[in-house]
Structure 1
Amino acid sequence: MRIVFITQDDPFYLARNLDYLLKKLPPYAKVVGTVVADVSPFGKRESFREKAQKTYEIFGLPFFLRYSLKFIASKLNRQNSVRHVLEHHQVPLIQLEGNINKPESLQKIAAYQPDLLISIAGNQIFKRPLLDLAPLGCLNLHTALLPKYRGLMPSFWVLKNNEKYTGVSVFFVDEGIDSGPILVQRQVEIGTRSQAELIRHTKQIGMDAIVECIEKIHAGTYQLIENDATQMTYFSFPAREDVKAFLAAGKRFY
């Protein structure tokens, strides 16, 4: 099974999780290439200055300083980078210019002859020609219990909304947003976790869920879970007022 990953150059969580995933893949699953996009935490492409300014304005000074220092540390220590992990596992980078759905991008990905695409923190909407490149489809990891909490930053919203449980969902991507049929879903008790703790916990569970999906697809016997649109909730990036409510409710970012 030839797999192409689609991810982003996240400096905080992804490197460790991708290393964990690559070590746990079954022997018949080979990652033949990875698309690594620039980080876009606000759901759209912005300059570094715009990202920094938005982070400060929405989340406040303590959050901004903490993650600025973590960002600098990640840049100084290349071993914590997504690209270093991929290089360590001898996974080629697929260099794209611009949107992943462009014909030129599709040609480059198709050259790797993927059987399966897997999006982990992919930050673009995938259109049908991309989804049709791999005969086994395209999987995406979402750290929430779909169909609830579609969209951005589910770890923030489940805490703000005082949910007792969250989880991970790995689903087959369609042309909607977090709307495809679910292959594997796991529930997680939130407890007293901070947002950072919850992200770390759910992302590792998500890696195990991806391995389970690969095994199910390889076996060819699985049952899909409906991603019922009538039960969906959708959340975009929080505003400053949402962050104030989050903190007022006693929730912690870290």
Structure 2
Amino acid sequence: MTYLELHGLEVSFDGFKAVNGLDLSVARGELRCLLGANGAGKSTTMDLICGRTRPTGGRILLDGRDITYEPEYERARRGVGRKFQVPSVFKELTVRENLDVARSRHPSPLRTLRIFTGPALDDRVAEVVELVGLDDELDTRAGYLSHGQTQWLEIAMLLVQDSALILMDEPTAGMTIQETRKTSEIFNRLRGRHTLIVVEHDMAFVREIAQTITVLHQGRCLSEGTIAQVESDPRVKEAYLGSGGITHA
């Protein structure tokens, strides 16, 4: 069942079309990877989906509802979550407190902590911290976590918000090999329960997680399919000739 649809999506910056008539269809529970060289329109597409950037043309449908011009906060309420390359967590708060803030409807972190913080975890939070491997770090300040653990905490914060659609921008950037491997395990466990769109340059990681790959080029969909299908596509080879193909894009 189709969950996210982009129809002829466009956005221009000073006359330059960063996204140029993009069509994309993602099924509910699917894990989709967006690939392409720098400037292909990957991150801009994510900005358009979450509402950070306003399109100049086209439509965005989420679960059949037109959200093209809805503000970012309304999309977040509909379950659209965004994780940026640089983690955004409260470094002075513990892992437990960060999760309390994330699941709260109150805008003030201090008010949230007064209401929610306690020794017991509800079932959902307990499930999430086990999934991301932070169950032994609940009382650790986020500023003391490793880079990989900080990335996992931000993912956990999206999960406790019950984000149905999670947009990930280079989630393994700066991770060790071991952290990247664990992240692929986390993503594979999330697949089917959440709809995931991942922008990533690490092809080894992409091979571990991708169901379908969409290759963007000059703001358009150049190719789509499995890794094998994309790598053998002559259009991809032509577009990235000289860079070693999409693997090195």
Instruction: Give the number of the structure whose residues are more often strand, by fraction.
Output: 2
Superposition TM-score, scaled by structure 2 size? 0.27
Q: Greater relative contact order (Cα 8 A, min sep 6): structure 1 or 2?
A: 2
